[in-house]
Chains A and B, each alone.
Chain A
């Protein structure tokens, strides 16, 4: 029989059983929609990761202290240059250790001698695990670790904000930063200027708003500029608004943060109970690993009982990408399972269909229809049923995309994703439809003809 005539018969059979076709293809509908959504969410995730890190300085290294305080400590260095490590109020020692000893920082620029100058004088009543990094640490690292172009320190907390169009106080991320934070984090101003050194030194109550915060509180960056907001009931003047960044730097999302001078935040909002992050920029991006190792050594020498998390931008990007890929892989596995279930559904329905149409197959065989033609007819019916399911699945995914986006999931639909869904759908249906079609083609004419 000609392929065109077989296709005509397939169309005839399918068009007369529309409801059955739709019911049969439900598994494929779900499978195709899942594949399309998985690909779209995976692509969206990758794009989001890329966007989040697009302004990230490739040489940026973030340093923060791990662990919790289990006791207190005080350091006292004797002789030479003194470095005082202040502890948060709530971490004040129940015992004390004084670190003493003469000497200086190994002749100024030689960081190698930094650790050696410390000598423990006294006993620890409880093991120290947590230290609060300070601006002094930041300065020392810049001075004594080679290959650092710039360094800054920042922290974030949450505080109530009032003003502008807000009906009531809302909590926002407050980031205490130094004046060089904007250059280190590649932040761009939409209007106004970033915080200055004077703002920090004088502990001035000024702030820079992230783009989303400015829109939420004032409606626009323009309206926010030079306006006033109240953070923890204290009045702050908005000296600038950032452009929309979409990135994350030092654990702070600039779009949704309110930036205030580092010292202002400590004085008026957090006190000393902060967990700051030191960010250093390697002069040469190819030397990031060396700088990280030197920073780690220096910190280990200084704080031998503490553990620090030192991560670079590349590692973060890799981690985020790996996490995204793992999620995509998980979702693809889920989609494959859905396809298999859908395929088994198609196979079952086709088996029933072959059983129902055994007499018809017998008639066709009696009239001289070849095994090949019968196999082809049933296989094409399975393929077209799957195609219908796959098309419905793609349409379904288009329909549910806005719903998924409501939950802040980035979905990036693509033509290639749709084509892949269709392909997977048809292949699944054809594979699972083959066996019933093969069985139909192998029926013995006289047995099939007498089947009621």
Chain B
């Protein structure tokens, strides 16, 4: 599903390039639920951005669902993000002026579906996440847990190859966080591939596999 080989990424700091990711090799099989665990500044968000095709690597090879991402242009990457990746963000990243339904169906509209078609297709996802009674609410009218459910629904609605979750419980209270993690387990059991980034070991433990990132290097076991 995901195969990364020798990924390097750095940012220019003045004239000097600061390395963030150092020779990353990372593989995720279909149906896996992987947590990338690392402290702040370890490079996990940069890795997440590259995994999500939102940032370019300096060197290395990245294959997603058989597609050579490192050789793909920006226009095609836009399509990859829409069709193969479902993003779940720490702070939900919902569009505040849209209601729940409008937020959820956005990825489908971007695929060229009509409003009607998109609404019909997302009905099951909405039911799965228990959002039936909230579809006309704005994000500002929802609790943190509900917002994250909307964010998950939006990620799931297009049946992506992989779900990428960036600190999905970071903005939630303990109870809501537990619910989200439980939902992730259920989604994984339903066959979804999930890659979650977190700095919290307890959160990471909900995944079936944990990889650690320290100082831009990835370790399958304790470094």
Contacts and interface: CB of A to CB of B under 8 A. Distances in A.
Interface of A: 1-2, 4-5, 8, 12-13, 16, 359-360, 362-371, 373, 445-446, 449
Contact of A366 (B75, B93, B98): B93
A1 B78 CA distance: 12
Interface in B2-59: 49, 52, 54-55
Q: Which 7 residue pairs of A and B lie closest in terms of their CB atoms, listed nearest first? A: A368-B82, A368-B81, A446-B54, A445-B54, A5-B109, A363-B93, A446-B55
6 contacts: A1-B112, A8-B115, A367-B81, A368-B83, A449-B89, A449-B93
Interface of B: 49, 52, 54-55, 75, 78-83, 87, 89, 93-98, 102, 106-107, 109-115, 154
Contacts of B89: 449
A368 B107 CA distance: 7
Nearest to B160: A368
B56 to A, nearest CB: 10
Nearest to B94: A363
Contact of B154 (A4, A367, A373, A445): A367
Given A364-B106, A366-B54, 14 more contacts: A360-B95, A360-B97, A363-B93, A364-B110, A365-B81, A367-B81, A367-B82, A368-B78, A369-B110, A371-B75, A445-B81, A446-B49, A449-B54, A449-B89
Contacts of B82: 367-369
Nearest to A360: B95
Contacts of B110: 1, 364, 367-370, 373
Contacts of A5: 109, 114-115
Contacts of B49: 446
Contacts of A370: 75, 78, 110
A353 to B, nearest CB: 12
Contacts of A367: 81-82, 87, 106-107, 110, 154
Which of A1, A360, A371, A446: most chain B Cβ within 10 A? A446
A369 B78 contact: yes
B114 A2 contact: yes
B78 A363 contact: no
B112 A2 contact: yes
B93 A2 contact: no
A360 B94 CA distance: 8
A5 to B, nearest CB: 5
Contact of B78 (A359, A362, A365, A449): A365
B19 to A, nearest CB: 18
